[in-house]
Every structure is written in structure tokens, then in C-alpha cells.
């Protein structure tokens, strides 16, 4: 299966308007954003756990990265409330579920096999700093290595910022609204920009908060190997 698998193209999706599709586990539904592969796939998805639902125990051969968008995600390692950013390196395993229900953005099979750094961060509690190169932008760093950088950023009300994205970029709007390249964006908008592209954001009167990942689209990893993006 291939969904938005041409990484040389821009993609913009209003995820909150997308239909839910069932997963193999009852009570767990998905909105696929990009995908290469079958049930084991390089995938980016919005996943919804109904109250009391769970997924069977499994190992993440290609790693797992997720943000809790609503509710509380749970596994045998702990509870992860709304606003938690998590990286589970390749080879880690768990039994995920949610007693109260939750919604997450999750990325699978996108890790370098040598990346063995686990991350558990409450994004709203992590230190933030002004970006001197982009006035009006406040950055909360979440993860960085030689291949990629992950952060939560806030654009002040009415502020504008434009910059080139070396290695591509991916954004999920967490709150507020505004525009990118003249197109309206709001909570739930997912954007992907290819390597060498540029983006241009303008925040609305309430500002704009978004999760952003850059650098990771130079090479596209898939289960069983890697393909250049």
C-alpha cells in the first residue's frame, strides 16, 4: 500500500475532516497520512484509541515516535497525557492501550537502527527559547541528532516567518490558526515539505502552535531496507 508516498511533493491534509479506518484491533482506528507497506509499514498516522481499547503486545523493529494529542496513552511503562512526546527506539516493545481513550500522531519505521535514545517529554513543560533568526518564533527543542531535528514551535499572534527546509519538513498544527503559502491552516492540519523546499507561515490572532520535524526526508526508510526520497 502506498499513501502520499512521493516525498518530492508537498502534502497538506485537514486531518480532522478525514474518515477513520479500522485497525486490526477493535476500538483502535486510524487516519493514514503517509504509508509505504502493508500492516508492517513505514507510516505516519493519526490513531484513535476508544475508551478501554488496547493493541496487542508488539516490538517496534523500525522504531516508534508519537505525540499524544488528546486523552491519555498508556502502556506497561507508564501513562502519557496530552502533550507528551515519545520516541521508542528500534527493538523496543510494549502493549499500548488507553483506559480513558486517546488520540495520537504516530510515526513508524522511520528510525536509523543506531538511534537508541528513548525520549519522554511533556512538551508544555520543556524549556523554550526565542529564535533570533525568526522573530516571533519560540522554539521548544524535543530531539536532535545528525539526521533530524524535532521541536514544538509557537508563532506569535500576527507574526510571519519564512525559511528554507534542508532535508524536508513535517508539521502538525496543535492549536491556533493562520496560513501557509496563502492556504489556511488550523488545528489538525498536517503539512509535509520535500527536501529543498521552503515554507511561509503567518499566524492568526491567537497565534500558531505546531509540532515540527526537519531533516528526516533526505532518505526514506522502509521495512526491509531504505529508499532514497
Q: What's the average model confidence in pLDDT over 211-226?
A: 87
Alpha helices by DSSP H, listed for 150-202, are none
Instruction: Give the pLDDT of residue 40.
Output: 87
How buried is residue 223: exposed, middle or buried, by Cβ count under 10 Å (0-12/13-18/19+)?
A: middle
pLDDT at position 225: 59
Strand 160-164 relative to strand 169-180, pairing: unpaired
Report pLDDT digits (tens) over 139-172.
Answer: 999 999 999 999 999 999 999 999 999 999 999 9
Residue-wise pLDDT for 65-120, tens only, equals 999 999 999 999 999 999 999 999 999 999 999 999 999 999 999 999 999 999 99
Name which of 48, 31, 43, 63 is nearest 2 in CA terms.
43
Domains defined along the chain, listed by start: 2-122 (2.60.120.10), 126-214 (2.60.120.10)
**pLDDT at res. 174:** 98
Average pLDDT, the chain: 95
Round to whole Å and give the CA distance between 98 and 77.
13
Amino acid at each position: 500500500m502506498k499513501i502520499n508516498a512521493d516525498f518530492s511533493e508537498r502534502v497538506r491534509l485537514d486531518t480532522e475532516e478525514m474518515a477513520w479506518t479500522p485497525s486490526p484491533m477493535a476500538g483502535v482506528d486510524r487516519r493514514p497520512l503517509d504509508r509505504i507497506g502493508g500492516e508492517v509499514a513505514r507510516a505516519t498516522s493519526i490513531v484513535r484509541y476508544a475508551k478501554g481499547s488496547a493493541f496487542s503486545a508488539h516490538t517496534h523493529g523500525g522504531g516508534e515516535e508519537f505525540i499524544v494529542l488528546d486523552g491519555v496513552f498508556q502502556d506497561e511503562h507508564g501513562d502519557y497525557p496530552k502533550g507528551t512526546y515519545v520516541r521508542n527506539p528500534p527493538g523496543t516493545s510494549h502493549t499500548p492501550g488507553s483506559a480513558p481513550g486517546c488520540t495520537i500522531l504516530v510515526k513508524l519505521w522511520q528510525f536509523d537502527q543506531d538511534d537508541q535514545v528513548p525520549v519522554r517529554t511533556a512538551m508544555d513543560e520543556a524549556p523554550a527559547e526565542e529564535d533570533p533568526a525568526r522573530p516571533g518564533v519560540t522554539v521548544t527543542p524535543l530531539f536532535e541528532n545528525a539526521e533530524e531535528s524535532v521541536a514544538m514551535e509557537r508563532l506569535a499572534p500576527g507574526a510571519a516567518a519564512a525559511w528554507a527546509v534542508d532535508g524536508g519538513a513535517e508539521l502538525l498544527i496543535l492549536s491556533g490558526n493562520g496560513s501557509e503559502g496563502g492556504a489556511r491552516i488550523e488545528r489538525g492540519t498536517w503539512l509535509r515539505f520535500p527536501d529543498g523546499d521552503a515554507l511561509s507561515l503567518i499566524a492568526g490572532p491567537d497565534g500558531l502552535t505546531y509540532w515540527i520535524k526537519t531533516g528526516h526526508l533526505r532518505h526514506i526508510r522502509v521495512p526491509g531496507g531504505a529508499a532514497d526520497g
